[in-house]
Amino acid sequence: MSLLHIITVPDPVLKQTAHSIENISAQIKQQAADMIETMYEAPGIGLAANQIGVLNRMFVMDTNYRKEKTSRNPIVMINPEIVWKSEELSVMEEGCLSIPQQYADVERPKSVRVKYINLNGEIVEFVGEDLASHCIQHELDHLNGILFIDYLSRLKRNMILRKVEKMKKDGIVL
């Protein structure tokens, strides 16, 4: 396994839609393993393929590890799609490895049911609530070329982008 480079705004790949994965090859399995290692090292609770510059519809997540400081239990979601969203909404502070050190409140459905393919090629349904729901929606947004800052006002979004550019200029973020 190896650590991957996480791209940051304003890289145009982050605004592109990822393509469906047709075959779960050894290369896809290796990419998933590398993404998991990279996510934990960052550290983060989710990482979409777009964030490593690859336009595959796949993301990895592990919300329990960060939240409860338990052992690692990563989930790999290939070709995920949300099949149900709760009407109840929740607001949570979100951040993003591709928008380093920047956070903002985002309102999303409190619960979602997502259907995806796992690394064994099996179709799985998973219900995410609270943090898991936000993480699933955030990572799935990445696969559709949407960033959490796209939910913010133009003023707030531009402030965040300027902060990231300044950090890059100052050598704080690569």
Which of the residues are catalytic?
139
Q: Which residues pair with 82 in a beta bridge?
A: 114
List Cα–Cα distances, 131 to 38, 45, 72, 93, 118, in angstroms: 20, 10, 16, 10, 21
Count other Cβ atoms within 10 Å, centred on residue 85.
Answer: 16
Order of all β-strands in the sheet with 111-117: 46-48, 58-61, 75-85, 111-117, 123-129
